[in-house]
Amino acid sequence: MYHFFVNQDQIGPETVTVTGPDVNHIKNVLRMRPGEEVLISNGVDRDYLCKLETIAADSVTAAIVSVTEGGTELPVKFYLFQGLPKSDKMELIIQKAVELGVYQVIPVETRRTIVKLDAKKEDAKVRRWNAVSESAAKQSKRLIIPEVTGVMSFREALQYAGGFNKNIIPFEHAEGMADTKAYFAGIRPGMSCGIFIGPEGGFEDDEIAMASEAGVKPVTLGKRILRTETAGLAVLSVLMFQMEN
């Protein structure tokens, strides 16, 4: 079933009105017809199972069949602070992180970050990254479209995560797996949790020290060294499994 997002003001008591680029997608790409079912989310807290009624040049009207509240979202808000990787790895990370239930993705520039973005390039990248997030949210039937923010410095990222309940940073010299498992077990529904992942080459020791001073918990992911595009997804996979009802 195809999935679309609308603003709350596009949702009435009995119908939903779709506007913008999705109209062309429904009409000319998918070639949908009245009577076909679609899933429409308000991007906050509700999914609407709908049947298409009218397909016009600039809008699509769909009748509401049923409403589901909070059906697909994890009970914890996970924020992925991702050290900027090379090439197009960020798009893969965003796509898979959204599928795994991340709440927000924050690109981070660290000491070992190779990629440097000026303001113009950053704006274009952030637009592209958010388009990837929207596509992944539709595919995985998310209730929300996770935001990809602008690039932050490592210090700014630590400040941003300062109000979260838990924060973790995978580090090859962290204590054993038992300690990591115990810390993960303390992540409960209703909490917010930051996950800090370094770029290629990882974090420098003074960055780990800075994070620890800010209350971020160094954790181990096992005996193997994971690539930057693997580490965050490994953490999210474990926590998704733990948090699912």
Question: Looking at the structure, do residues 206 and 117 belong to the same domain, yes or no?
Answer: yes
- Tens of pLDDT, residue by residue over 143-183, are 889 999 999 999 999 999 999 999 999 988 787 899 999 99
| Whether 35 and 96 share a structural domain | no
CATH number at residue 62: 2.40.240.20
| Domain of 54, in residue numbers | 3-69
- In the chain, what's the furthest Cα-to-Cα distance? 60
pLDDT attached to residue 147? 96
What length is written for the chain?
245
Using alpha carbons only, give the angle 234, 235, 237 rounded to the nearest 5 degrees.
65
Answer yes or no: do 114 and 221 share one domain.
yes
Asked whether residue 119 falls in the same domain as residue 198, the answer is yes
82 and 60 part of one domain: no
62 and 94 assigned to the same domain: no
194 and 238 fall within a common domain? yes
pLDDT at 45: 78
Q: Domain boundary residue among 69, 87, 121? A: 69
Model-level pTM? 0.84
Task: Output the pLDDT for position 70.
Answer: 67
Q: Does one domain contain both 41 and 23?
A: yes
Count of C-beta atoms within a 10 Å radius of residue 210? 15
Same domain, 205 and 174: yes
Give the domain-ending residue among 34, 69, 104.
Answer: 69
CB 93 within 8 A of CB 232: yes
Q: What is the pLDDT of residue 116?
A: 81
Q: What's the Cα-to-Cα distance from 4 to each of 49, 55, 129, 157, rounded to whole Å? A: 11, 15, 18, 31
Average pLDDT per 10 consecutive residues for the chain, totaling 245 residues: 90 94 92 94 87 94 89 90 92 97 96 84 93 93 92 96 95 85 93 95 91 94 90 95 85
Q: Select from 69, 91, 111 the last residue of a domain.
A: 69
- 169 and 110 within one domain: yes
* Number of domains forming the structure of the chain: 2
Whether residues 87 and 149 fall in one domain: yes
Separation between Cα atoms, residue 80 and residue 94, nearest integer Å: 9
